[in-house]
Amino acid sequence: GAGVSQSPSNKVTEKGKDVELRCDPISGHTALYWYRQRLGQGLEFLIYFQGNSAPDKSGLPSDRFSAERTGESVSTLTIQRTQQEDSAVYLCASSPTPWGEQYFGPGTRLTVT
Amino acid sequence: DAKTTQPPSMDCAEGRAANLPCNHSTISGNEYVYWYRQIHSQGPQYIIHGLKNNETNEMASLIITEDRKSSTLILPHATLRDTAVYYCIVRPSMDSNYQLIWGAGTKLIIKP
């Protein structure tokens, strides 16, 4: 079946602009996660959704970052007033249960110039 | 901080078994051991997980010591496509903390 998809695959933006990243999870997966991965480093947790509510936003690095989810489907991660340190790969994962194995999308590579 | 310790890198010959160790000496009774891998420029891929019994699936086997303080992921017949960074992660079974804490992993290089 279809896996997790993310769009765009690559995004180049100028410093100060807003960007919106999209994640389409596996159908029926109630849990959805966003991570950030800087070059050569491990994954940093950003936010977790159960359905369309976000019980854990503790990983969002600043108030420039926000995310929403529509029901148990698509999620968007928005970064306002982008900074160069926001350059990274943003990964989305979904899971059939909150504590189950996570299935990852291919990521969105964000470059802020 | 990650609750696991892994060697930074390992080599293995193609066709041989790759044995990747992980130490998790502070693991609690309700915490599972999960393994993921990340092939270059791709998103991580789930491999296997276990609580205290050894587990096997089509990708790998997971051996957990009796005291649960360490485990070994076994790729029985490594191929060049198994070259990746392998992450060992400990997470609770049911807990209010949903975060996976990712360490640096082990970079496994399969050599022809």
Q: What is the pLDDT of residues A82-96, one digit of tens each?
A: 999 999 999 999 999
The per-residue pLDDT for A55 is: 78
SS3 of residue A68 by DSSP: strand
The per-residue pLDDT for B94 is: 66
pLDDT at B86 over 90: yes
Beta strands A10-13; A108-112: pairing state: parallel
- For the residues A24-38, what does the mean pLDDT come to? 94
pLDDT at B1 over 70: no
Query: Tens of pLDDT along B3-38?
Result: 899 999 999 999 999 999 999 998 888 889 999 999
Of A42, A93, A104, Cβ closest to residue B105 = A42
A99 with B92: Cβ contact below 8 A: yes
Structure tokens belonging to residue B16: 């041989």
Q: Which residue has the higher pLDDT, B98 or B35?
A: B35
Interface test with A, best of B4, B98, B102 (most A CBs within 10 A): B98
Residues of B in contact with A45 (CB under 8 A): 99-101
Q: Does A53 touch chain B (CB under 8 A)?
A: no
Compute the mean pLDDT over every residue in chain A, rounded to the nearest whole number.
93
Chain A: give the shortest CA distance to residue B42, in Å.
5
pLDDT at B99 over 80: no
B99 with A93: Cβ contact below 8 A: no
Chain A: give the shortest CA distance to residue B57, in Å.
14
State how far the Cα of B38 lies from the Cα of B57, in Å rounded to an integer: 18
B99 with A59: Cβ contact below 8 A: yes
Q: Does A105 touch chain B (CB under 8 A)?
A: yes
The helix (run of H) or strand (run of E) holding residue B110 is: strand B106-111
- For the residues A61-73, what does the mean pLDDT come to? 91
Q: Does A40 touch chain B (CB under 8 A)?
A: no
pLDDT at A42 over 90: no
The per-residue pLDDT for A31 is: 92
Chain B: give the shortest CA distance to residue A90, in Å.
10
Q: How many CB atoms lie within 10 A of CB B25?
A: 11
Question: How does DSSP assign A33-65, residue by residue?
Answer: EEEEE-TTS-EEEEEEEETTEEEE-TT--STTE
pLDDT at B102 over 80: yes
Confidence class of residue B67 from pLDDT cuts 50, 70 and 90? very high
